[in-house]
Structure 1
């Protein structure tokens, strides 16, 4: 039993060493530098050893992307939210832009649909964004649905990083990312918490964010309320009509 544990620990250590070496090569020299031969040489092992852990270069790159982005996401989770959800969203945006510019090759891997869509770390990053957007919805500052807001922010952030990376570092206009953020905020935020007289959308989005926490509702009532709120978020007019019929 002890030998088995020792063997598993050794395998884990060897795999971690391969991933860390590959991550360093990716960061310093780009995707083309991450070859089986180069990684094996830098890690001080024979190339066949790598094939015991990774089927091919793509599998190794997937593991590298997962490792680096998981570390980044874990760091984001450790940052405590402030009392200002909008400020926290801006801090998250700045961190995302900074990470992308500091990890150009890795960012390219994560934005590749064939890799990014199956990355648990990328999914965890999106979950953090959804949570931050939900906090804004809960204080009545969101003028669109949570899903719409998340998709706009994610698309804008990815596009801003890729655009900046397409230029040499000395030619990059970092104000582009700021301008993109402000443009998206104008689309998704209200100037102040919504009042009922301001229309149903912002108020409905806010209520939808806090409704699951209401203890006085039965499961059937939550289901009915969710149906109404989803309809209102997508089409306020149809919600008003159905509410009048009820």
Structure 2
């Protein structure tokens, strides 16, 4: 894959402009965008940038983190706190994401989205209010392992780290998750599956293929 150097500012503007083309402001569609990447790649930072760029352009955007849809600790840690299989396939409540995030944005949906469901620190429901996304507003969902669940995204962005950079930038207490990302690479090949790939080994100098 050939990647070209780009600045975060220009990347943000390019993605925001592409999203404006996906759905007119007065249309009934809600563009749904994945910002996929390991926590060390910080895909949420790019999602927030693009969300702000859309708002500057007069378009509504809702940034949602998959981290707000974790399962309760009793389920995540059923087989221990560092079980790779559980992290890969069982930590995130994909059913709740389908029901509370994607379902309301289907054709004919209400646009009423729950921005988060579960507080992993307190291990209880967040009780956050629903957010009303107007027609043409964009959902920007960020988190790890997003491209393996058949979510109905209109645009997918994979923020990529090389294996070495992923190891260096993953916190010591989270190093046990690295085999899950190796498996993700082998089974899902997110760099090939995504519409846009951003390499962020050097956070000051990204490169992309879009």
* TM-score (normalizing by structure 1): 0.25
Higher RCO (CA 8 Å, separation ≥ 6 residues) = 2
Whose Rg is larger? 1
Higher helix fraction: Structure 1 or Structure 2? 1
